[in-house]
Amino acid sequence: MPSSISDAGLGEAIRAQALAEGFDVVRFARADAPPAASQRLTTFLGEGRHGTMEWMARNAERRADPAVLWPAARSVIVLGLNYGPDGDPLAMLERREVGAISVYARGEDYHDVIKAKLKRLAGEMVRRFDCEMKVFVDTAPVMEKPLAQAAGVGWQGKHTNLVSREFGSWLFLASIFTTLDIAPDAPESDHCGQCTRCLDVCPTAAFPAPYQLDARRCISYLTIEHKGHIPREFRVAIGNRIYGCDDCLAVCPWNKFAQAGHEQRLAARAELEAPPLRALAALDDAGFRAMFRKSPVKRIGRDRFVRNVLIAIGNSGDTALAADAERLLGDASPLVRAMAVWALRRLGITPPRPRPDEDFEVLSEWNSNNVTHETKNVDLPDAHREHAG
């Protein structure tokens, strides 16, 4: 039997239920296009800053306007779940013998954790209020950060990520679109002021201007979304970051109000806080799947992950890891073999001469500008010779 709760109490009833499910922030917005979001998205896509994330361009119209995504929606419930770390995530960058995994990926996959909460919350709302619901957590073309700002959760900082006055940089976002007409909360204003710490700290200069991101230069994009060979110009700057990057998040002054997350399923697993590069380089596909079971890391696959590990090995300065890189010269994946060549060169070691029929990218890596003066080039196939780097 639907509830007869008054319109004034509808939002508070939903907020109380969401907080009981473990969400830290519950706010409401109209199911309208957030101001300026569509133009920002058009510019971002028009300049190709989304890189190989073609899915962003395919769903641009639906992403820009909730009414296009679901015309029946009247309101959006924006939810935040705190995943704040209990220490400085950038301290790991000084330990070059281990891999740095982004804070959000050290526990269970947040998609699974949040989706379970969303389904329970939506089910209860349908039962009580006789409405329709659609739940989203990175599962549809939803501009969650502009909607979160419209709902007053926080604001998009100069690094384009959401900043909260209460939780700093560390909020997972989710949303529920509903046919309910819920009174909206006041939007949040920008509180970045003159600060540019997030822009200044970026190792790869991924921000062409405040409030603009070129994903093609972003370490999170390069180590997670990018499926191919990471461009040479970014590899040294990646350091030991093997999955994602927290730099622009971690330096935000608003983190002085942040708190450690309370959701135990999102807490960092001990083996993912400072995993040794040597152990990670030894992972085969089965070992990778076992280590990252229930982790968001699993989605990039073993080969891309080991590609990242080899870049970290090359940047470690530790020649004791050269044997691990050399062993991977015989890996089944050319993506891995090419980075093994680069890692050895970066450690000051000339890799063994590859076979003439080796993959083009591996040959190109062997013939790159990193080649020492005493090493002769390997012949490339004629069709590729003019494109060699």
Supply the pLDDT for residue 388.
35
Contact yes or no for 56/63 (Cβ under 8 A): yes
Helix (H) or strand (E) holding 155: strand 155-156
Judge whether residue 26 has pLDDT over 70.
yes
| Lowest-pLDDT choice from 92-101, 339-348, 364-373 | 364-373
Q: How far apart are CA 90 and CA 103, in angstroms?
A: 10
This prediction has a pTM of 0.88
For the segment 254-296, what is each residue's pLDDT rounded down to a tens digit?
A: 999 999 999 999 999 999 999 999 999 999 999 999 999 999 9
pLDDT tier at 54 (50, 70, 90 boundaries)? Answer: low
Highest mean pLDDT among 59-63, 136-140, 310-314: 310-314
Supply the pLDDT for residue 68.
82
Inter-axis angle of helices 334-346 and 301-316, nearest 10: 10
Q: What one-character-per-residue DSSP string does 213-232 give?
A: --GGG-HHIIIII--SPPPH
Helix (H) or strand (E) holding 177: strand 171-178
Contact yes or no for 216/48 (Cβ under 8 A): yes
Supply the pLDDT for residue 380.
36
Judge whether residue 160 has pLDDT over 70.
yes
Supply the pLDDT for residue 34.
72
Residues noted as catalytic? 138
Supply the pLDDT for residue 97.
96
For the chain, give every domain's residue range: 1-85+108-202+248-262, 203-247+263-387
Residue, of 46 and 16, whose pLDDT is higher:
16
Judge whether residue 373 has pLDDT over 80.
no
Q: Provide the 10 A C-beta neighbour count for residue 291.
A: 19
Contact yes or no for 292/269 (Cβ under 8 A): no
Supply the pLDDT for residue 382.
40
Judge whether residue 375 has pLDDT over 60.
no
